[in-house]
């Protein structure tokens, strides 16, 4: 197939309907992920995980910027955003996987092959976005597949297909990246002074295949502002290990000679 698929998810068009969550679960037969009421606005899903691959966030905030007219004493806004696996250009889970279960597909996505995964859990702690997790009754790690099966059949992912307002856009990464940049300019011109495109290219992650148009800081969405692929930590860690190992050899030698 050889294209570079991407998502551009735009919070300013999202109406918080959660159709993406449901469509994803229906298509991919993802099990129920907890019948727990959280009180976090309308978000009872809380976070992405092994059994939640699209997660709609609800932020109730003082409106620091924006043209919306709200008949309230203190300006206020309610923002919705559908979170998803970032399918990083340099992916922590992929690098960390010891069985080779996690691979890069020919559409540029990151896929967990569930027939190989043995549930070691290393991907879980290697993801700087907190996406992939283990299903405890099943034992394996799961995350968004980018509807690879649908893409292979020439269709778009279930969430993008179902989104009624096209907040979730699907297409070629370069196109969507340009569109995201243009959209942020447009929003700023309309008075959304804190609009930005979330696509961490300046870190070791090198950008993601799931980009987001958000209002305000990424921190408010639990999007890491400067995520790193944990392999950047390897060099210093191994160096320390080897140095310490040499010290241990010396100490043991000294112990016997002493």
Partner 1 sequence: MPGLGTTYGRGGATTAPSDVVNSDVVLIMGSNMAENHPVGFQWVMEAKEKHGTHIIHVDPRFSRTSAVANTWVSLRAGSDILFLGGLINYVLQNNLDFREYVLHYTNASVIIPEGFKDAEELDGLFSGWDPATKQYDNTTWLYQGVKQDESSSDRHDNSQSGGHSQHGVDSSVDLSTYEQDLTLQHPRCVWQLMKRHFARYTPDMVARYCGVTKDAFLNVAKIYTSASGPDKTGAICYALGWTQHSSGVQMIRCAAMLQLLLGNMGRPGGGILALRGHASIQGSTDIPTLFDSLPGYISMPKFGYSSVDLASFIKANKPKTGFWNNIDKYIVSMLKAFYGEHATAENDYGFNWLPRLTGDHSHQAYFLDMMDGKMDGLFVMGQNPAVAAPNSGLERRALGKLKWLVVREMVETETATFWRDSPEVTSGELKMADIQTEVFLLPAAGHVEKDGTFTNTQRLLQWREKAIDPPGDARSENWFIYHIWERVVEKAKADPRPRNQGLLALQMNYTITGPRREPEAPEILQEINGYTTADRKLLKTFGELTADGSTTCGCWIYTGVYPEAGRNRANERDPKDEYGHGWGWAWPADRRVLYNRASAKPDGTPWSERKKLVWWDEAEKKWTGKDVPDFTATKPPTYVPPPGAEGDAALAGDKPYILHADGMGWLWVPVGLNDGPLPTHYEPLESPIANPMYAGQQANPVGLRRTRPGNEYATSPDTRFPYVLTTYRLTEHHTAGGMSRTLSHLAELQPEIFCEISMELADELKIEHGEWVTLVTARGAIEAHALSTSRMKPLTIDGKRVHQIGVPFHWGYNGLVKGDIGNDLIAISEEPNVRIMETKGLLCNLLVGRRSTNVERLKEYHSIAEGKTA
Partner 2 sequence: MATTENPDSTRLPKATEERLEAIRAEAAATGKVESGAGRPPRMDRPPRDERSGGGVGSSEGKFPAGESYYNLGVVKPPTWTWEIAVYFFVGGISGISSVIGFIGHVLHADPTLVRVALWMGLIGAMICPGLLIADLGRPSRFLNMLRVFKWRSAMSMGSWILSAFGGAAFTAVAANEAVRYGIHLPLLPQIAWIGEFGGAITGLLLASYTGVLIGATAIPVWHQHRHLLPAHFLTSGLGGSAAILELLGFLLPVTQFLGFAASAVETLLGISLELKPSQVNKPLHHGRSGWTMRIAGALEGPIALLIRVFLHGSAHGRYATAICFLIGSCSSRFAWIWAGRASAHDPHALFEEENERIRARAAGARAL
Distance CA 126, CA 107 (A): 22
* Binding of partner 2 by 248 (CB under 8 A): yes
Instruction: Yes or no: say if 67 and 12 are a contact pair by the CB < 8 Å rule.
Output: no
Distance of CA 195 to the CA centre of its chain: 19
Could you say which of partner 2, partner 1, none residue 122 binds, taking C-beta under 5 to 8 angstroms by partner kind?
A: partner 2
Interacting residues with partner 1 between 51 and 70 (CB under 8 A): 60, 67-70
Which residues pair with residue 203 across a beta bridge? none
Which of 29, 153, 154, 258 binds partner 2 (CB under 8 A)? It is: 258
Examine residue 135 and tell whether it contacts partner 2 (CB under 8 A): yes
Beta pairing partners, 210: 7
* Residues with Cβ within 8 Å of residue 251, at least 6 apart in sequence: none
Return the structure tokens found at 201. 């290219």
Window 36 to 65, contacts with partner 2 (CB under 8 A)? 36-41, 43, 46-47, 49, 51, 57, 59-62
**Single residue of 67, 139, 164, 191 touching partner 2 by CB under 8 A:** 139
* Between 138 and 179, CB nearer to partner 2: 138
207 binds, options partner 2, partner 1, none, Cβ within 5 to 8 A by partner type: none
Site for partner 1 in 71-110 (CB under 8 A): 71-72, 74, 76-80
Q: Which tokens in the block code for residue 158?
A: 């279930």
Residue 244, contacted partner among partner 2, partner 1, none, CB below 5-8 A by kind: partner 2
Q: Residue 129 CB, nearest distance to partner 2 (Å)?
A: 7
15 sits near partner 2 (criterion: CB under 8 A):
no
Provide CB contacts within 8 A for 210, sequence distance 6+: 6, 7, 9, 84, 85, 86, 87
Among 16, 108, 157, 227, binds partner 2 (CB under 8 A): 227
> Which of 161, 151, 140, 20 minimizes the C-alpha distance to 80?
20
CB environment 29-68: b (16+ within 10 A), e (fewer): ebeebeeeeeeeeebebeebbbbbbbbbbbbeeebebbee
Strands 210-215 and 5-10: parallel
> Which segment (21-29, 165-173, 180-188, 212-220) binds partner 2 by CB under 8 A?
212-220
| Binding footprint of partner 1 on the chain (CB under 8 A) | 12-13, 15-19, 21-22, 25-26, 31-37, 39, 41-42, 44-45, 60, 67-72, 74, 76-80, 164-166
């Amino acid at each position: 197939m050889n294209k570079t698929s991407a998502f551009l998810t735009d919070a300013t068009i999202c109406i918080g309907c959660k159709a993406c969550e449901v469509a994803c679960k229906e298509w991919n037969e993802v099990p129920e992920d907890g019948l727990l009421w959280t009180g976090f606005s309308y978000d009872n899903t809380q976070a992405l995980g092994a059994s939640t691959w699209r997660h709609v966030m609800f932020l109730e905030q003082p409106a620091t910027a924006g043209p919306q007219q709200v008949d309230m004493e203190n300006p206020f806004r309610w923002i919705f955003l559908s979170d998803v696996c970032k399918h990083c250009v340099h992916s922590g889970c992929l690098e960390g996987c010891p069985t080779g279960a996690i691979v890069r597909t020919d559409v540029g996505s990151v896929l967990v092959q569930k027939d190989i995964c043995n549930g070691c859990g290393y991907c879980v702690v290697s993801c700087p976005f907190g996406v992939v997790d283990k299903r405890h009754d099943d034992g394996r790690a799961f995350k968004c597949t980018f509807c690879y099966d649908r893409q292979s059949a020439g269709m778009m992912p279930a969430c993008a297909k179902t989104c009624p307002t096209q907040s979730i856009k699907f297409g070629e990464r370069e196109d969507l990246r340009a569109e995201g940049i243009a959209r942020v300019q447009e929003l700023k011109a309309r008075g959304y002074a804190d609009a930005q495109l979330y696509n961490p290219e300046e870190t070791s992650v090198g950008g993601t295949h799931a980009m987001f148009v958000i209002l305000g800081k990424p921190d408010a969405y639990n999007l890491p502002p400067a995520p790193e692929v944990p392999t950047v930590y390897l060099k210093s860690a191994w160096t320390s290990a080897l140095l310490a190992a040499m010290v241990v050899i010396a100490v043991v030698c000294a112990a016997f000679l002493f």
